[in-house]
Structure 1
Amino acid sequence: MNHEVIVTCAVTGAGDTVGRHPAIPVTPKQIAEAAVEAAKAGATVVHCHVRDPQTGKGSRAPALYRELVDRIRSSGVDMILNLTAGMGGDLEIGPGEKPMEFGAGTDLIGGLARLIHVEELLPEICTLDCGTLNFGDGDYIYVSTPAQLRAGAKRILELGVKAELEVFDTGHLWFAKQMQKEGLLGDSPLFQLCLGIPWGAPADTTTMKAMADNMPAGAIWAGFGIGRMQMPMVAQAVLLGGNVRVGLEDNLWLDKGVPASNGALVERANTIISHLGARTLTPEEGRKKLGLKKRG
């Protein structure tokens, strides 16, 4: 069991959740306010995407990230900043027998181009999605090839940013461990087990334990489940020796029919952690555990 837990709050994501919840953060100001709310509620780390303020859809515009990070860093509230670097991997295969007629949802760029905002803003952590995945039941694929991942991991290491290795299935973990063997991840790699996303690894005890049992020596790991499995996976991750993630990116509901807020989800996770006899680390303590230097 992990008795000193890093709690990450993923405050908005890039999914189609606007309109399904009364208060999904959309603008840089709203996302920064959500990050501050989560930190004040006790989150150690805030994980941030940006969205197009006009449409609410996920964006990778550096100007939006710049405004967001400026607002967070000028807030006076301490938090470890984790920016996504996963945007730019969307491929919508064409319908039926015309797979090369890519759909309007396609936004596919190279691995290094996904890091432009990371190079500019130098957060303490950024994500690296460790493999390609079928996303849902249609023709949508998230693409992250071995060559793209090696290039991205190398660049993140050069920047002095810590990669959070997003693992959506067992093969992703296998390849992340290969990158470690190749010297692309630095000391004490950080893994995030992303469970319950169709069609990756399911959010259940057997799967999380199998992945936890396959962590390389010296690794620090966290895990989460989406939707109704968010809080059960908080408890499960702590019991298996991991850290946790909650937030509106992964789950919109506090209870059945009760919309969540990021702060309320962090508070509930902290309550579960406390009831298990563990405690949540402060951002300063989290930096020490992860080997980070405060930036900004």
Structure 2
Amino acid sequence: MNTEVFITCAVTGVGATTERSELVPVTPPQIADAAVEAAQAGAAVVHIHVRDPETGGPSRDPVLFREVVERVRSTNVDVVLNLTAGMGGDLVLGGVESPLPPNPEGTDMAGATERLAHVAELRPEICTLDCGTMNFAEGDYVMTNTPSMLREMARQVQALGVRPEIEIFDTGNLVFAKQLVAEGLVDEPVLVQLCMGIPYGAPDDPTTLLALVQQMPPAWVFSAFAIGRMQLPYVALAALVGGNVRVGLEDNIWLERGVKATNGMLVERAVTILEAMNARVLGPAEVRERLRLTKA
């Protein structure tokens, strides 16, 4: 069991959660406020996406990222910033009989440099690296991250001095993560996020989680989370198997049956669970020391 745990709060994501909860932040001021709220509740790290302020849909506009980051940094609240770099790998095929050309609605494919433009400008302590391609949910959508794309993104992130958080959605992703490390494209300490229960990746059962954990080198630092109703049980499970935890409205909008959550509520509940397990919740300064981060 991990008795010194840090909490990451994924404050908004880009999914259709805005249609199910009015508490999901959409605009840059709302996202920044949610990040600060999460930090004040006990999150050492905030994972940030941005959304189109008009539609609430996905965006990777560097201007929106800049506003969120500047707002968070302008407060006196200390928190480690983790910006997504997962956008720009969205491929929606044209259908089962005519997959090409891709469907322009939902397809957003960009080069490595463009996908990392906001990271290069804002230099967060951490950015994500989605370490694989997968059938993500239903229909004709494919989350697309080829080996050559991932190698180039890893090179650029390394050159920027930003710590990549390697997102693992299934066992093959972990194999490729080890390859990136072996090729010298990811520096120690290696930081991993195990993303469980996302269709059609690794299921969120304990056996699968343990299989992934047991394949990781002991020196790697990892967190694990699950989506929906399994998010809060995974706070306990992740700590029990030696990891850190992630909560937030990106992955789950409910605190309990019939009660919609805020990011702060979910972090507070995670703190309660961990402290009831006699685990100590780490602050941002301790996370920076553990991960060898330079405060942005």
Q: Would the TM-score normalized by the shorter structure come out above 0.5?
A: yes
Q: Which residue of 2 aligns with 1:272?
A: 273
Q: Which residue of 2 aligns with 1:29?
A: 29
Equivalent residue letter for 2:158: L
Deviation per residue, 1:181-235 (Å, 9 max, x gap): 0111011100000001100001110111111111124110000000001011111
Q: Which residue of 1 aligns with 2:283?
A: 282
Shift of 1:71: 0.2
CA contact (8 A) 2:23 2:261 kept: no
Question: Is the partner of 2:289 in helix, strand or coil?
Answer: helix
Q: Percent identity?
A: 59
Q: Which residue of 2 aligns with 1:85?
A: 85
Q: Matches of 2:264 and 2:293 in 1, distance apart?
A: 24
Shift of 1:74: 0.1
Q: Matches of 1:236 and 1:174 in 2, distance apart?
A: 23
Question: Is the partner of 2:17 in helix, strand or coil?
Answer: coil
Q: Which residue of 2 aligns with 1:168?
A: 169
Q: Which residue of 2 aligns with 1:186?
A: 187
CA contact (8 A) 1:95 1:101 kept: no
Unaligned segments of structure 2, at least 5 residues: none
Equivalent residue letter for 2:16: D
Q: Matches of 1:245 and 1:18 in 2, distance apart?
A: 20
Shift of 1:19: 2.0
Q: How does 1:11-26 map to 2 (within 5 A)?
A: 11-26=11-26
Q: Matches of 1:250 and 1:75 in 2, distance apart?
A: 26
Q: Matches of 1:69 and 1:62 in 2, distance apart?
A: 10
Shift of 1:114: 0.7
Question: Is the partner of 2:96 in helix, strand or coil?
Answer: coil
Shift of 1:101: 2.9
Q: Which residue of 2 aligns with 1:230?
A: 231
Deviation per residue, 1:45-95 (Å, 9 max, x gap): 000000000110010001001111100000110000000000011100111
Moved over 6 A (4+): none
Q: Matches of 2:209 and 2:229 in 1, distance apart?
A: 16
Question: Is the partner of 2:188 in helix, strand or coil?
Answer: coil
Q: Which residue of 2 aligns with 1:75?
A: 75
Shift of 1:42: 0.5
Q: Matches of 1:79 and 1:247 in 2, distance apart?
A: 15
Unaligned segments of structure 1, at least 5 residues: none
Q: Which residue of 2 aligns with 1:294?
A: 295
CA-based RMSD of the aligned residues comes to: 0.8
Question: Is the partner of 1:56 in helix, strand or coil?
Answer: coil
